[in-house]
Chain A
Amino acid sequence: MNLTNEKVNNFCVLNIEGRVDTTNYSEFESEVNKLFEAGEKELIFDCSGLNYISSSGLRVFLIAQKKTLSLNGKLYLCNLQPAIKEIFDISGFSTIFKIFETRDKAIGS
């Protein structure tokens, strides 16, 4: 897993690459927490490089969404690979996140 973030307009974009699984989800969780602690509340998770996720990783997405809602912020997802989108669909996560096809669409929404 590789995580990088950048500021685009008002959004903080977190690029998630590689695998998010039982062995590394806590690293992902602490990176997300750092963004909240830094005062970010308009987030985009760019998942173009995310090629594997298990329930441990989904758990962090849900925690981030709960936190964002409690802050009246925004958390958008974009560029989900088809296999990842399928997991979001079957777990019901597609209805609890705003998912955009591209980063530009997320930023422009």
Chain B
Amino acid sequence: MNLFFTMENRKEAHFIIENRVEELAVLFEKIEQLTEIWDFTVPLTMNINLVLEEVVSNVIFYAYNDKFKHEINIGLSLQNNLLTIVITDDGKPFDPTSNQLPDINLKAEDRPVGGLGIFLISKIMTEVYYERKENLNILTLKKTI
């Protein structure tokens, strides 16, 4: 499923991917297409791609204990210079904003190898907001571009 549309000074896109790691390639392709249409710079495209990879791969790897097919909904909108991304999944409750952020001042020897994904999201995006509604995790990310 794939939907791009544009209204006066508001652009929107929406797509759904399944909870399989192979779907990340589909996600990357969609983001490439979208950022080209929306005329994003190369660094911004990379950052948006990165943020979505971090969120969606967390969902794919950790949100489900069953083996069923699940849908991850991704919506993007651009109004004036505010980009809003909303990612919705029906996995177990997970609030990424409650995660402890890594200490980036540690020496290489002392730095833990994990925990960077959520940190990068929080640095790249201007605002990160999580809510749990019924059986859904809804993560809203905003960035002024």
Contacts and interface: CB of A to CB of B under 8 A. Distances in A.
Interface of A: 19, 21-23, 51-56, 58-59, 62-63, 65-66, 69, 82-84, 86-87, 90-92, 95-97
A91 B113 contact: no
Dominant secondary structure at the A interface: helix
A83 B48 CA distance: 12
A22 B114 CA distance: 13
A23 B21 contact: yes
State the 9 A-B residue pairs at the shortest beta-carbon distance, nearest first.
Answer: A92-B104, A83-B43, A55-B117, A55-B116, A96-B108, A90-B123, A83-B46, A22-B57, A65-B108
Contacts of B105: 92, 95
Nearest to A75: B108
Contacts, number: 70
Interface residues of B, number: 28
B83 interface: no
Nearest to B117: A55
Interface in B80-106: 104-106
Contacts of B57: 22, 54, 56
Contact of A54 (B54, B106, B114): B54
A86 B47 CA distance: 10
B71 interface: no
B109 A66 contact: yes
Given A54-B117, A55-B117, A62-B111, A23 B50 contact: no
